[in-house]
Chains A and B, each alone.
Chain A
């Protein structure tokens, strides 16, 4: 038995908005959340830009007692989950707890807490670290906190597939419902890695964007000839996925149907993306959604703004979409919200679902110098409204070769 899976709630804490409406408005307006960071370690970085979540006051959401056991990445996740649950007007009866679960993605979990511990041990020569270090920092803390808060007794799973972590979390949650293991799933991702250690590690890999000398906010330039890499960000996005019948029965507001998903591995190189794997993943997701390439009216690209990545994804989209490639808008919203790593797939899928809902496509900003090797319609610099979108695709192609593609379409009974 396969069932239909619909999206009935959304929540987000991101560098460009702390609510789905604010998030999408900012994307449409082409506002960047990327900036010169103000952290106290900033002088130790060669590249000191990032996409932080600013003005996030955890004490507005949690008591001091709760905060001692809830790390920043779990705080983001819980706040996004609460928004999504409220948005969906989700209520679970006791008999339903075991039929509800959670899937989250994260790359580095509570890395900030681990770093604090290392500073104590190696720099201050202390003999002990905070007693809750393990519980704060473990990668599955965010999903587990969500499970505890909402009594989700079905699957509680955390995926760590680098940049595709939360796309895979959403896809696997969808499969839980589609194949009858659950009726309701909270799914998304969260990341809080703007700490010195991880930032230095990314710096060393030489994949981070150089700061734009005239405007830090314009540093991430996907598909532009002068692109120089990605910008690290933080935040969380969580969606409520629900069996369509359950959602219809309770009269829930349905944003879209999550109609297709596929995940695969390039199995070629640890960083270099491979169009063949990306093509396979897009085709499988289309097949599962029972859609043709021309049915997809917007693609939220992985679009990291690395030299190789943008060209490879362009090639892959051309291969899958053939003659329709030129008529399909493709944008990289990473140009505005940065790369949220384990949260980025969920953030971008949410952007695609909101695009579907509003019949509007957010732009790729900072695209001033077209690259002849990147020749699709990237919606340069200006969002488009008044469109008619029936289905959208979100691509996530990770370091390590883990690909994930999600397709949402307008829900029809």
Chain B
């Protein structure tokens, strides 16, 4: 399963969002997520994907931004694990 799918599923589960609204170019703001919801969401992503978010805040504007960050972290942290 791609990380996009996981992210979409988690958004539906956590925020009751409509799956069809969750296109990669959708902005998090247009989905109704404010900065706090984003923090809450990335916290749950850490659990779901067994990754650790960086300490510093990263600008996440669209769903694709989240996918990119997550993919990058998965790649990096898989290497570290080995």
| B49 located at the interface, meaning its Cβ lies under 8 Å from any Cβ of chain A in the complex | no
Set of chain B residues within 8 Å of A128, measured between Cβ atoms: 43, 46
Beyond A65-B32, A65-B33, whether A132 also contacts B39 by CB under 8 A is: yes
Which chain A residues in 104-152 approach chain B with CB under 8 Å? 128, 130-132, 135
Which chain A residues in 41-73 approach chain B with CB under 8 Å? 63-65, 68-69
Set of chain B residues within 8 Å of A69, measured between Cβ atoms: 36-37, 40
On whether the beta carbons of A68 and B16 are closer than 8 Å, the reply is no
On whether the beta carbons of A132 and B16 are closer than 8 Å, the reply is no
Q: How far is the CA of A132 from the CA of B16 in the complex (A)?
A: 19
Bin chain B's interface residue count.
10 to 19
Set of chain B residues within 8 Å of A64, measured between Cβ atoms: 14-16
Residue of B nearest to A135 (CB): B36
Set of chain B residues within 8 Å of A68, measured between Cβ atoms: 14-15, 36-37, 40
Majority secondary structure of chain B interface residues (helix, strand, loop or mixed) = helix
On whether the beta carbons of B39 and A65 are closer than 8 Å, the reply is no
Beyond A132-B36, A135-B36, whether A65 also contacts B43 by CB under 8 A is: no
Set of chain B residues within 8 Å of A131, measured between Cβ atoms: 36, 39-40, 43
Set of chain A residues within 8 Å of B39, measured between Cβ atoms: 131-132
Residue of B nearest to A129 (CB): B43
On whether the beta carbons of B40 and A63 are closer than 8 Å, the reply is no
Residue of A nearest to B38 (CB): A131
A81 vs chain B, min Cβ distance (A): 21
Binary interface encoding of chain B residues 16-39 relative to chain A, with 1 for a CB under 8 A from any of its CBs, else 0: 100000000000000011001101
3 shortest A-B CB distances, which residue pairs? Answer: A64-B16, A131-B39, A65-B15
| Pairs across A and B, CB under 8 Å, 29 listed | A63-B15, A63-B16, A64-B14, A64-B15, A64-B16, A65-B15, A65-B16, A65-B32, A65-B33, A65-B37, A68-B14, A68-B15, A68-B36, A68-B37, A68-B40, A69-B36, A69-B37, A69-B40, A128-B46, A130-B40, A130-B43, A131-B36, A131-B39, A131-B40, A131-B43, A132-B36, A132-B39, A132-B40, A135-B36
